[in-house]
Amino acid sequence: MAGIAVSTTINGDAVEYLCQPDETLLDVLRDRLGLTGAKEGCGTGDCGACSVIVDGRLVCSCLVLGAEAEGRKVETIEGMAHGDQLHPLQQKFLEHAALQCGICTPGFLIAAKDLLEKNPSPTEEEIRFGLAGNLCRCTGYDKIVRAVQDAANVMKGA
Amino acid sequence: MNFDPRYSGRNFSSVGTRPVRPDGVDKVTGRARYGADFNMAGQLVGRILRSPHAHAVIKSIDTSKAEKLAGVKAVITAKDLPDLTDGDAAMYDILDNCMARKKALYDGHAVAAVAAIDARTARQALKLIEVDYEVLPHVTDVDEAAQHHAPLINDQVYTEGLEEKPAKPSNVTKRTQFGHGDVHKGFAEADFIVERSFKTEQTHQGYIEPHACVASVNPDGTAELWVCTQGHFVYRQHCAQLLGLEASKLRVTSSEIGGGFGGKTHVWAEPVALALSRKAGRPVKLVMTRDEVFRASGPTSATSIDVKIGARKDGTITAAEATLRYSCGPYAGSWAEIGAMTAFACYKLENVKTVGYEVLVNRPKTAAYRAPSAPMAAFAVESAVDELAKELGMDAVDFRIKNAAQEGTRSSYGPIYGPIGIGPTLEAVKSHPHMKAPLKANQGRGMACGFWFNFGGQTCTDLNIGMDGTVSLAVGTVDVGGSRASLSLVAAEELGIDYSNVKAIVADTSSLGYNDMTDGSRGTFSSSMATISAARNAIKILKDRAAQMWDIPVEDVTWEKGHAIAKGEKYGNLSPLSLKDIAAKSGTTGGPIAGHSELVADGAGVSFATHICDVEVDPETGSTRVIRYTVVQDAGKAVHPTYVEGQYQGGAAQGIGWALNEEYIYGKDGRLQNAGFLDYRIPVCSDLPMIDTQILEIPNPNHPYGVRGVGETSIVPPLAAIANAVSNAVGVRMTHIPMSPPRILAALEAEREG
């Protein structure tokens, strides 16, 4: 079956691929492009482990078709650090032990990045509701919230 | 090797600090490789066909159309997994659960599988497999299944543990009993008695990573399995036995694991993936969907528990009794037995009796879930204890303190306790500011205690010292929540070097000797013991090499703070040699320097926790919010306190979900109705408050650093703590978990109607 030709931008790089009409953006990222940082926890948009940013909008990549990325700008966890310089959120997640198993971490980092870009000084409640689309089963969210608070403070000071 | 595991007090320099974990950067950059993140050349996609029926005879399976579909490389049924279990009933059950042989026993039971060139072809192929079922009556409720007239799930099951073998088969596989003293005498001495029945619904561990593996069987009989698991050595044994492979030729690599909580201690799809690979002659990746995880991996038991506790006016418990019925899924288990052992473990009791009944139901096989079986028993017992305290007019904490088990107490399940933490956690709770904080209207406070045994077990560890003086630590327990950090700290502590010079990895089954499953909170306890042993063995070699370098007798060399020291004034001119100095010369003093350890980690220290919880209940909707939560737990010794806190918080959060919302909902047709994260709703960030923690350290006498397991106990008290809080908030005793809004409203209505 002929695939759909897609030209898009991923983490700042021009990328071209062929995909089937029923393939999700998550399938394309993971299976065609080798970008396995986004995880499939549910495939139904309920867990947020596959979170990416498309044209400045936080989405579950399992709910976006690969073909829909045509002409757009996609940001994934693989593009979050600048070279060997971790993003403040990545650094604070490490320092606060905001991850145990780590499977939800890429999705949380992307969602938190989106949150802080839109609201650089969120309250605890705003963080909790801002991250409510991402499931974590290990941490009870306590250390995740604290890491985001700490990162927000660092980023404001930067 | 003359390893002395006994505790000895010491001042720690690395243990107790909070460094960044060695696997951290990979996990925040998306580079860490989990079960589904690995690929092999020529890999196929595997998919499993599952029964839509709760109970049905499989009359025939026609796979011919699927086999003819272009791109399909293998189709298998139970015929491709012949019975090699040789009379081993437990292994036969595992085999039957991986692929149904004669009957489908639950909605989601695997009946066939395909391997195809891509996911779309595999999905199409599943639709072409024709299964002829004869649907049978089913039973999914634990109490109904235990009745004599219930549909029989296995007509070969006759209840074990009775004085006489019963005349008829039943769904009750086993009766077990624990306790001591005479409960009849004890109840006769009681001034107050509380007697109640409780139910808890089935919940799932809810790990975010679905089961995933890549299997590759070669024509020469060698095979590889990449898999997310809590025990790759056990998976190797089970898969090898079920597939007829030689264990040493099956190399199993434990991927990063995206949560397990006990659910990844059993093989599910892995033998199927290996059988597909064997038949197709190519590697096969098999990843469960979330729907499959709910329907066909292993949730915890649903339970029905009767409790009776009596006490004298002075607050002394005179007798305690419980009958516990736990669902096992369609295969025999020992879940009620564990519940019966843990039920009254917090208390010093003269007269205690617990009886457990294992009950088969047409639901997925029950698997371990974090302190398996203990939370439900604690819910029933701690609810009744609270009620009894009220009847006595005593404070709930004081009543528990008065009856708490102590060092020397004979536990309700048999052993005599050593130094334990139940009393100290209760005293800490009594003086905690949380207990004195004011409450508003519709709010209630509850507290409860919990116990877990903790496991030890077979453990094998390698510690290799590089020529640059850095250390590679290879362990065989899986890192489920930061244990590579804690084990690196332990190696650094014992060797006397900096944490940054140690890197721990999880070794595969061909690189290290056998390790038991990473369960029972044993990861850091067992592997730290083996790491200390391996480090001590390495230090012996380091001292020997230093002696060679100095040309003095090894007896004159000691090891202090990462350095070999020549003892005595006669060696005053010999400067200490650092580990790095000795490692640099290892090529000329005898070759590589390593320490090895293989041991059975005995003496896991039992663990106790006490939790405090405040809730607010909306009387209009029955909706409950947890507004404040405090965990107090004994860690023995917190190796990496931040990750210990994380275990406390994570267990509490899972318990909150279980207490208030999570449950498997079956329709009358025996099908699971909420097999997804939308309808099986686990707590999200906006549902929870911060979870405060207090770590107590009562050293385990059977570990050199005093370490106890910390992972599981935190899920034991929450069901009861929250039930007590809700009961205090609404003035009605809650007896059915989860306390979802409809159940709370129904309880309020029943109270109003009197």
CATH code linked to domain B39-136+210-257+264-296: 3.90.1170.50
For residue A94, give both structure tokens.
């490490």
- Does A61 share its domain with A94? no
How close are the terminal C-alpha atoms of chain A, in Å?
Answer: 51
- Does A16 share its domain with A54? yes
Note if the bond before B738 is cis, omega within 30 degrees: yes
pLDDT, position B607: 96
- Confidence bin at B754 (pLDDT 50/70/90): confident
pLDDT, position A2: 81
pLDDT, position A158: 66
Strand pairing report for A57-60 and A73-75 = unpaired
Q: What angle do CA B98, B102, B106 make, to 5 degrees?
A: 60
Spatial CA neighbour of A89 closest among A2, A29, A158, A43: A158
What is the DSSP code string of B329-378?
A: TBS---HHHHHHHHTTTTB--SSEEEEEEEE--SSPPP---SSTTHHHHH
CB atoms A137 and B684 under 8 Å? no
Q: Taking 60 as the threshold, does the pLDDT of residue A125 lie above it?
A: yes
Which fold does the domain B24-32+456-601 belong to in CATH? Aldehyde Oxidoreductase; domain 4 (3.30.365)
Torsion of CA A72, A78, A83, A85, to 10 degrees: 110
Spatial CA neighbour of B322 closest among B196, B146, B133: B196
**How far is A144 from A128, CA to CA, in rounded Å?**
10
- Which of A47, A105, A144 lies nearest to residue B28, judging by beta carbons? A105
CB atoms A100 and B650 under 8 Å? yes
Range(s) within chain B of domains with CATH label 3.90.1170.50: 39-136+210-257+264-296
Domain final position from A45, A79, A113: A79
The per-residue pLDDT for range B126-159, each reduced to its tens digit, is 999 999 999 999 999 999 999 999 999 999 999 9
- φ, ψ of residue A103 in degrees (nearest 5): -70, -30
Q: Please give the residue of chain A at the shortest CA–CA distance from B43.
A: A31
Q: Give the torsion sign (CA, B80, B86, B89, B94).
A: negative
Q: What is the mean pLDDT of residues B397-418?
A: 97
Number of residues written out for chain A:
158
Q: What is the mean pLDDT of residues B171-194?
A: 98
* Residue that has been written with the tokens 């689309």 in this structure: A133
Domain final position from A31, A59, A79: A79
Measure B260 CA to nearest chain A CA, in Å. 9
Starting from the edge strand earliest in sequence, which strands make up the sheet with B130-135, in order? B103-104, B56-62, B130-135
Torsion of CA B184, B188, B191, B196, to 10 degrees: 30
Helix B718-730 vs helix B741-753: angle between axes, to the nearest 10 degrees? Answer: 40
Return mean pLDDT, chain A: 97
The per-residue pLDDT for range B36-74, each reduced to its tens digit, is 999 999 999 999 999 999 999 999 999 999 999 999 999
Query: B217 has which bridge partners?
Result: B223
The per-residue pLDDT for range B10-46, each reduced to its tens digit, is 999 999 999 999 999 999 999 999 999 999 999 999 9
Q: Which residue has the higher pLDDT, B432 or B751?
A: B432
Spatial CA neighbour of B318 closest among B330, B326, B327, B309: B309
Q: Residues of B with CB below 8 A from A149's CB?
A: none
CB atoms inside a 10 Å sphere around CB B742? 10
CB atoms B290 and A43 under 8 Å? yes
B424: enclosing H helix or E strand: helix B422-430
The per-residue pLDDT for range B473-497, each reduced to its tens digit, is 999 999 998 999 999 999 999 999 9
Q: Do B24 and B500 touch, CB atoms closer than 8 A?
A: no
Measure B339 CA to nearest chain A CA, in Å. 24
- Does A59 share its domain with A101? no
**How far is B129 from A124, CA to CA, in rounded Å?**
52
- Which of A90, A142, A144 lies nearest to residue B29, judging by beta carbons? A90
For residue B130, give both structure tokens.
């024709």
- Confidence bin at B231 (pLDDT 50/70/90): very high
Distance of CA B744 to the CA centre of its chain: 30
Identify the CATH number of the domain in which residue A122 sits: 1.10.150.120
**How far is B231 from B257, CA to CA, in rounded Å?**
11
**How far is B45 from B363, CA to CA, in rounded Å?**
27
- Which of B33, B682, B686 lies nearest to residue A137, judging by beta carbons? B682
Q: ipTM of this model?
A: 0.98
* B19 at interface of A, judged by CB pairs closer than 8 A: no
Q: Taking 60 as the threshold, does the pLDDT of residue B285 lie above it?
A: yes
Tell me the three-class secondary structure of B130-190, residue by residue: EEEEEECCCCCCHHHHCCCCCCCCCCCCCCECCCCCCCCCCCEEEEEEEEECCHHHHHHCC
- Confidence bin at B752 (pLDDT 50/70/90): confident
Spatial CA neighbour of B522 closest among B636, B649, B652, B658: B636
Q: Please give the residue of chain A at the shortest CA–CA distance from B641.
A: A97
CB atoms A144 and B682 under 8 Å? no
- Does A73 share its domain with A103? no
Q: Taking 60 as the threshold, does the pLDDT of residue B1 lie above it?
A: no
Q: Do B57 and A65 touch, CB atoms closer than 8 A?
A: no
Give A97's DSSP letter.
T
Q: Taking 70 as the threshold, does the pLDDT of residue B611 lie above it?
A: yes
Give B211's DSSP letter.
P
Q: Residues of B with CB below 8 A from A144's CB?
A: 685
**How far is B641 from B278, CA to CA, in rounded Å?**
46
**How far is B285 from B580, CA to CA, in rounded Å?**
44
The per-residue pLDDT for range B555-567, each reduced to its tens digit, is 999 999 999 999 9
pLDDT, position B275: 98
Spatial CA neighbour of B363 closest among B423, B272, B299: B299
Optimal mutation site among B17, B27, B205, B208, interface A, most CBs of chain A within 10 A: B208
Q: Taking 60 as the threshold, does the pLDDT of residue B727 lie above it?
A: yes
pLDDT, position B735: 97
pLDDT, position A67: 98
**How far is B206 from B326, CA to CA, in rounded Å?**
20
Q: Residues of A with CB below 8 A from B28's CB?
A: 86, 90, 93-94, 99, 102, 105-106, 109
CATH number 3.30.1490.20 is the correct assignment for the domain at B305-395+404-414+427-448+605-753 = no
Distance of CA B690 to the CA centre of its chain: 24
Whole-number Cα distances in Å, B38 to B27, B33, B227: 15, 7, 9
Q: What angle do CA B248, B251, B254 make, to 5 degrees?
A: 135
**How far is B501 from B539, CA to CA, in rounded Å?**
16
Q: What is the mean pLDDT of residues B219-239?
A: 97
Q: What is the mean pLDDT of residues B681-701?
A: 98
Q: Do B8 and B704 touch, CB atoms closer than 8 A?
A: yes
In B602-690 the beta strands, taken as DSSP E runs, fall at: 607-617, 624-634
**How far is B55 from B33, CA to CA, in rounded Å?**
38
- Does A152 share its domain with A93? yes
In B476-572 the beta strands, taken as DSSP E runs, fall at: 502-506, 557-560, 563-566
Spatial CA neighbour of B500 closest among B492, B511, B512: B492
Helix, strand, or coil (residue A89): helix
Q: Do A26 and A16 touch, CB atoms closer than 8 A?
A: no
Q: Which domain holds residue A113?
A: 88-157
**How far is B304 from B510, CA to CA, in rounded Å?**
44
Spatial CA neighbour of B478 closest among B524, B518, B508, B512: B518
Q: Give the torsion sign (CA, B724, B726, B730, B734).
A: negative
- Which of B258, B642, B684 lies nearest to residue A97, judging by beta carbons? B642
Q: Taking 70 as the threshold, does the pLDDT of residue B184 lie above it?
A: yes
- Which of B30, B259, B289 lies nearest to residue A37, judging by beta carbons? B30
The per-residue pLDDT for range B656-678, each reduced to its tens digit, is 999 999 999 999 999 999 999 99
pLDDT, position B751: 87
Share of chain B above pLDDT 70, in %: 100
Q: Residues of A with CB below 8 A from B644's CB?
A: none
Q: Please give the residue of chain B at the shortest CA–CA distance from A90.
A: B28
**How far is B740 from B471, CA to CA, in rounded Å?**
51
Q: What is the mean pLDDT of residues B169-195?
A: 98
pLDDT, position A1: 65
Q: Residues of A with CB below 8 A from B691's CB?
A: 140, 142
Domain final position from A62, A79, A96: A79
For residue A42, give both structure tokens.
């549910």
Range(s) within chain B of domains with CATH label 3.30.365.10: 24-32+456-601, 305-395+404-414+427-448+605-753
CB atoms A138 and B20 under 8 Å? no
**How far is B384 from B190, CA to CA, in rounded Å?**
15
Optimal mutation site among B684, B687, B695, interface A, most CBs of chain A within 10 A: B684
Q: Give the torsion sign (CA, B264, B269, B273, B278).
A: positive
- φ, ψ of residue B558 in degrees (nearest 5): -120, 170
Distance of CA A64 to the CA centre of its chain: 13
Return mean pLDDT, chain B: 97
Q: Give the torsion sign (CA, B720, B723, B729, B733).
A: negative
- Does A42 share its domain with A96? no
- Which of A44, A95, A140 lies nearest to residue B676, judging by beta carbons? A44
For residue B97, give both structure tokens.
């659960």
Spatial CA neighbour of B274 closest among B311, B202, B223, B220: B223
What is the count of structural domains for chain A?
2
Strand pairing report for B212-217 and B284-287 = antiparallel
The per-residue pLDDT for range A59-117, each reduced to its tens digit, is 999 999 999 999 999 999 999 999 999 999 999 999 999 999 999 999 999 999 999 99
Task: Please list the alpha-helical segments (H only) found in B244-296.
Answer: 270-280, 290-296
B587: enclosing H helix or E strand: helix B586-589
CB atoms A140 and B691 under 8 Å? yes
- Confidence bin at B223 (pLDDT 50/70/90): very high
Q: Please give the residue of chain B at the shortest CA–CA distance from A125.
A: B686
**How far is B608 from B453, CA to CA, in rounded Å?**
9
Q: Residues of B with CB below 8 A from A76's CB?
A: 30
- Does A134 share its domain with A96? yes
The per-residue pLDDT for range A16-53, each reduced to its tens digit, is 999 999 999 999 999 999 999 999 999 999 999 999 99
- Does A134 share its domain with A111? yes
